[in-house]
Structure 1
Amino acid sequence: MTAFAAPIASDMIGTRLASRADLTGFLTQLSDEIGADSYMLVAIIHDEERNDARIVASNWLYDAIELIGKHLIAALAHGPLTSPPGNRPRALVASHAETAAGLLNGEEAKLLDVLGHAELYSLRLDVGRQRLFLLFSAAEAGNIQQDALNRAQLKCCYALSQVPQLLATAALQDPLSDRERECLFWVSEGKTTEEVAVILGVSANTVNSYITHAIQKFSASNRAMAIATAIRSGII
Structure 2
Amino acid sequence: MTASAALLKTDTISTRLASRGDLTSFLMELTAEIGADSYMLVAIVHGEVKNDARIVASNWIFDAIELTGRCLIAALAQGPLTSILGSRPSALVTGQAPCARDLVSGEEAVLLDVLGHAEIYSLALNVGRQRFFLLVSAGQAGQIDQSALMKAQLKCCYALCQVPQLLADAATQDPLSDRERECLFWVSEGKTTDEVAVILGVSSNTVNSYITHAIQKFSASNRAMAIATAIRSGII
**TM > 0.5:** yes
3-state SS in 1 of match to 2:11 = helix
Query: 1:139-158 alignment to 2 at 5 Å?
Result: 139-158=139-158
**Percent sequence identity over matched residues?**
70
Tell me the distance in 1 between the aligned counterparts of 2:43 and 2:2.
32
Is contact 2:81–2:91 with CA below 8 Å preserved after alignment?
yes
Tell me the distance in 2 between the aligned counterparts of 1:22 and 1:36.
19
Tell me the distance in 2 between the aligned counterparts of 1:49 and 1:173.
24
2:19 maps to a residue whose letter is S
Corresponding position of 2:131: 131
Instruction: Quote how far apart the aligned CAs of 1:138 are.
Output: 0.1
1:9 maps to a residue whose letter is K
Tell me the distance in 2 between the aligned counterparts of 1:32 and 1:40.
13
Tell me the distance in 2 between the aligned counterparts of 1:12 and 1:167.
21
Q: Deviations over 1:28-86 (max 9, x none)?
A: 00011000000000000002154110000000001100000000000000111000000
1:140 maps to a residue whose letter is Q
3-state SS in 2 of match to 1:81 = coil
Corresponding position of 1:192: none
Is contact 1:12–1:159 with CA below 8 Å preserved after alignment?
no
3-state SS in 1 of match to 2:41 = strand
Cα separation, partners in 2 of 1:12 and 1:47, compared to 1, 3 Å = farther
Tell me the distance in 1 between the aligned counterparts of 2:137 and 2:158.
21
Corresponding position of 1:75: 75
Aligned residues: 178
Q: Deviations over 1:89-141 (max 9, x none)?
A: 00000010233221111110000000000000000000000000000000000
Which structure 2 residue ranges, 5 or more long, are not aligned? Answer: 179-234
Corresponding position of 1:33: 33
Instruction: Quote how far apart the aligned CAs of 1:2 are.
Output: 5.9
Cα separation, partners in 2 of 1:4 and 1:53, compared to 1, 3 Å = closer
Query: 1:104-115 alignment to 2 at 5 Å?
Result: 104-115=104-115
Corresponding position of 1:103: 103
Tell me the distance in 1 between the aligned counterparts of 2:70 and 2:113.
17
What TM-score comes out, normalization by structure 2 length?
A: 0.70
